[in-house]
Amino acid sequence: MPKLTQSQLDRFTNEGFLLIEKLPGMSEKMQVLELEFANVLDSLVVELLEKKELKQSYSDLPFGERITAIIKETGKTYSSHFDFSLPQKGIKHDTPMWHGPAVFDILTHDPLLDVVESIMGDEIYSNPVQHVRIKPPEDQLPVNPITGEKYWGSLVSQTPWHQDTGVINETADDSNILTVWTPVWDAPIESGCLQVKPQSHNFGLYQHCPSPTSGAGIPEQILNTNTAIPVPMKRGSVLLINKLTAHASLPNMSNHVRWSLDLRYNPIGEPTGRESFPGFVVRSTKNPSAILTDPVAWSDLWKDTRTRLALEQDPSYNRWDADDPMCA
């Protein structure tokens, strides 16, 4: 794919987001990712059966229905087993995570990097603030035993209004971080697609309030969402989001899982906002030898990080104070 046109760049600059449909090769990458994650789910089922935490394998069901059935039976979500990051607290030597070659192949997909290069130049770093979100239908989620609500955090349930700068440390406030949101399957409105507030990036960083269940979110009383628009997307498309653009997900009111990836990039050498986690160089004209091309080496970076963080106190990932009057 050629780089973004001037018209597209102007739209991204003015509105704070840009939808690109049918990015070359992206749909095919998602097909490979489906197979990889199906194998991850197989391994999880074997583990749960051995522990007698699951009564049956649900092997006759497709991926989305299968993981929903497992969540319903066990009352647990298992989001970390598929996530290519680590949680922000309580990391242990065996904390589940997934850093497989299909994920790496998407992170380093050349047509995607061409788009990113249009915005930040050709010295590109894969920012480690990244996630997979596998969201079952809201009415299929079990009650959270801690909160008594059908809410399990933004990886599984509805994501609150936030800016991506608001969910990282202030070390990266001056970094040119770009979010790339892409659905593994089609994400229509009823399945809980993203919604964005156009031009909200022009007003700086809003107050966020931390929550033990949903992460940091913007209080409703300070963000007028009347002008927000949903962005339904087809598989193979990508949504570029400015780091200060307010966005959230709609609830998944469909009968199907909503499955998506959050990817982030910034120029090489700029802070990522989560320095405890490992990023890597994906494109560099100045120093091509610095580019990481081995998915196993990428996985090892995260394994080494997990080992280190399991021995340390939890780093700080949040700049916000829950006792702030705005959060009352």
Q: Which two tokens stand for residue 72?
A: 């319903």
What is the count of structural domains for the chain?
Answer: 1
Q: What is the pLDDT of residues 142-170, one digit of tens each?
A: 777 776 666 666 667 778 999 999 999 99
Q: Is 295 within a domain? A: yes
**319 in a structural domain:** no
Q: Is the pLDDT of residue 212 over 90?
A: no
Q: Is residue 224 part of a domain?
A: yes
For residues 12 and 195, give the distance between their C-alpha atoms in angstroms, rounded to a whole number: 15
Q: What is the pLDDT of residues 241-299, one digit of tens each?
A: 999 999 999 999 999 999 999 999 999 999 999 999 999 999 999 999 999 999 999 99
Residue entry with tokens 């610095």: 290
CATH number (domain holding residue 81) = 2.60.120.620
Please report whether residue 320 resides in a domain.
Answer: no
| Angle value at C-alpha 60, between 54 and 62, nearest 5 degrees | 95
Tokens found for residue 321: 């104070």
Q: At residue 176, does pLDDT exceed 80?
A: yes
> Is residue 323, in this structure, part of any structural domain at all?
no
Domain span at residue 62 reads 6-312
Q: Is residue 170 part of a domain?
A: yes
Domain assignment present for residue 207? The answer is yes
* Inside any domain, residue 272: yes
